[in-house]
């Protein structure tokens, strides 16, 4: 991958020494000119509403939304664009399934102790409101998903398995194919939270046979505020829409409602059309690079940073230490320092932006008695030189501040 060419597509980089060293990509990535222009095109050329009015501008928006849906469908290996529902983020996609499934007292939902709050709190809510039971697979100290423990917990009475495909604290990935096969053998449905997987790896939802798959476009070059929920078309009827209303309804009397088929059924209200059109361009951009190249690039940067810090006594890397198991995520702590202090000093000292704290995976950190961590996360426009600047800055912080 030609990173210098890639960087020229991102207006935020001007080529000056003041360019940001942005290593907070697991939160949200920057956008290339192609995505910004596609999003702007909506406001400049056809700023109308899709799927309702019959005039020409409305038709143009509808066509563009359909195009984006088709591109995203192809990108993730979905059999039909009808399986792609647009939401405002991954959180809404996960909530749509959790709240829509009509789970009842006695239903068991199995997660892990490493879930993002977006795949954790909805299940707590359902335990409180519907009386469902929650079980969670504990992650061992080496940070690697415990498949044997999962098998033991995957009893016949589990009705739903909902896991982060790649988690955002350590960057480890669950063996999705095995998990899905085991869960399906017990007739449980499976939802994967792909927020940290899809931006980095080639995904094929159809080959995986996953039932629901959620992710966010803003973590993969797309505009803010667009999420995607993939669902098997035949499961749509089992789900009550989370947001019911205009655009989702075929007809309604005073007492009764008939929903449109999927995907419209789940897309009540006017949508973020500009963001959806930009999302199509984001997928085009990633496809032009090739996901294998994207994954290799991020792994190479992670290898460089891991190699540069793993032997320093004051640095503890959140396990696993092997960078090949952590994709584009490097989470660490510096002895005697809070992760927020590390992040603030990196920004002030070298314009280096990382994330700190508990990364919305509070149960994971609280269970281990760790007060969060600092996290550098890499993407296609990051360079080895930026990683060297990061390494130098961390070493300076250790020298000046670590106890
Ligand atoms: C693993 C994981 N799941 C879910 C989310 C929530 O994504 P969003 O804020 O786009 O809804 C994130 C965000 O960081 C994440 O990393």
Q: How far apart are CA 332 and CA 334, in angstroms?
A: 7
Q: Tell me the pLDDT tens digit for each residue of 79-99.
A: 999 999 999 999 999 999 999
pLDDT over threshold 90, residue 77:
yes
- Cβ atoms of 377 and 24 within 8 Å: the answer is yes
Mean pLDDT of the chain: 96
CB distance 195 to ligand 1 below 6 Å: yes
Q: What is the pLDDT of residue 120?
A: 97
CB distance 115 to ligand 1 below 6 Å: no
CB distance 193 to ligand 1 below 6 Å: yes
| Residue 277 neighbours by CB distance under 10 Å | 24
In this prediction, residues 5-14 reach a mean pLDDT of: 97
Q: What is the pLDDT of residue 336?
A: 94
Q: Tell me the pLDDT tens digit for each residue of 36-50.
A: 999 999 999 999 999
Q: What is the pLDDT of residue 1?
A: 87
**Which atom of ligand 1 is nearest to 91's Cα?**
11
| DSSP 8-state symbol, 173 | B
pLDDT over threshold 90, residue 52:
no
CB distance 162 to ligand 1 below 6 Å: no
Task: Give, for ligand 1, the residue of 165, 166, 168, 212 to mutate: max count of ligand atoms closer than 8 Å to Cβ.
Answer: 168
Residue 119 alpha carbon to ligand 1 centre in Å: 9
CB distance 72 to ligand 1 below 6 Å: no
What residues have CB less than 8 Å from 187, skipping those under 6 apart? 156
CB distance 90 to ligand 1 below 6 Å: yes
Residue 194 alpha carbon to ligand 1 centre in Å: 9
Using 50, 70 and 90 to split pLDDT, how confident is the model at 150?
very high
What residues have CB less than 8 Å from 104, skipping those under 6 apart? 130, 131, 132
Q: Tell me the pLDDT tens digit for each residue of 374-397.
A: 999 999 999 999 999 999 999 999
CB distance 164 to ligand 1 below 6 Å: yes
Q: Tell me the pLDDT tens digit for each residue of 204-221.
A: 999 999 999 999 999 999
Residue 195 alpha carbon to ligand 1 centre in Å: 5
| DSSP 8-state symbol, 248 | S
CB distance 111 to ligand 1 below 6 Å: no
Q: How far apart are CA 161 and CA 180, in angstroms?
A: 9
Residue with the nearest Cα to atom 12 of ligand 1?
195
Q: What is the pLDDT of residue 350?
A: 87
**Which atom of ligand 1 is nearest to 27's Cα?**
14
Using 50, 70 and 90 to split pLDDT, how confident is the model at 329?
very high
Q: What is the pLDDT of residue 74?
A: 98
Q: Tell me the pLDDT tens digit for each residue of 218-275.
A: 999 999 999 999 999 999 988 999 999 988 999 999 999 999 999 999 999 999 999 9
**Which atom of ligand 1 is nearest to 115's Cα?**
1
Q: Give the SS3 label for residue 160.
A: strand
Residue with tokens 């920057």: 30
**Which atom of ligand 1 is nearest to 28's Cα?**
14
**Which atom of ligand 1 is nearest to 227's Cα?**
10
pLDDT over threshold 90, residue 53:
no
Residue 116 alpha carbon to ligand 1 centre in Å: 7
Q: Which residues are catalytic?
A: 360
Residue 193 alpha carbon to ligand 1 centre in Å: 8
Q: What is the pLDDT of residue 385?
A: 97
| DSSP 8-state symbol, 166 | B
pLDDT over threshold 90, residue 165:
yes
């Amino acid at each position: 991958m030609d990173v210098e060419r890639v960087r020229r597509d991102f207006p935020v980089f001007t080529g000056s020494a003041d360019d940001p060293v942005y290593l907070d990509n697991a939160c949200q990535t920057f956008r290339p000119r192609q995505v910004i222009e596609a999003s702007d095109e909506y406001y400049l050329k056809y700023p109308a509403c899709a799927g309702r009015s019959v005039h020409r501008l409305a038709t143009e928006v509808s066509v563009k939304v359909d195009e984006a849906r088709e591109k995203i469908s192809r990108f993730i290996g979905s059999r039909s664009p009808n399986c792609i529902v647009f939401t405002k983020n991954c959180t809404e996609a996960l909530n749509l399934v959790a709240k829509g499934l009509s789970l009842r007292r006695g239903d068991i939902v199995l997660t892990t102790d490493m879930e993002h709050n977006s795949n954790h709190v909805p299940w707590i809510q359902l335990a409180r409101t519907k009386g469902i039971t929650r079980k969670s697979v504990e992650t061992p100290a080496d940070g690697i998903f415990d498949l044997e423990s999962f098998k033991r917990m995957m009893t016949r009475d589990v009705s739903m398995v909902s896991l982060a495909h790649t988690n955002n604290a350590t960057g480890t990935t669950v063996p999705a194919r095995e998990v899905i096969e085991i869960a399906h053998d017990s007739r449980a449905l499976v939802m994967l939270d792909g927020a940290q997987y899809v931006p980095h790896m080639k995904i094929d939802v159809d080959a995986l046979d996953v039932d629901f798959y959620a992710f966010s476009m803003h973590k993969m070059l797309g505009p803010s505020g667009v999420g995607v929920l993939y669902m098997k078309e035949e499961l749509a009827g089992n789900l009550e829409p989370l947001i019911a209303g205009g655009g989702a309804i075929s007809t309604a009397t005073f007492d009764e409602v008939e929903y449109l088929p999927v995907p419209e059924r789940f897309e009540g209200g006017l949508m973020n059309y500009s963001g959806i059109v930009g999302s199509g361009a984001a997928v085009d951009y990633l496809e032009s690079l090739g996901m294998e190249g994207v994954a290799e690039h991020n792994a190479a940067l992670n290898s460089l940073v891991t190699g540069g810090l793993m032997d320093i006594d004051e640095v503890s890397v959140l396990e696993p230490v092997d960078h090949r198991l952590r994709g584009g995520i490097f989470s660490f702590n510096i002895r005697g320092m809070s992760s927020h202090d590390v992040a603030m000093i990196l920004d002030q000292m070298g314009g280096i932006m990382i994330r700190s704290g508990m990364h919305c995976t509070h149960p994971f950190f609280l269970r281990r008695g760790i007060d969060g961590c600092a996290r550098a996360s890499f993407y296609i426009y990051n360079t080895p030189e930026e990683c060297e600047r990061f390494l130098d800055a961390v070493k300076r912080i250790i020298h000046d501040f670590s106890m």
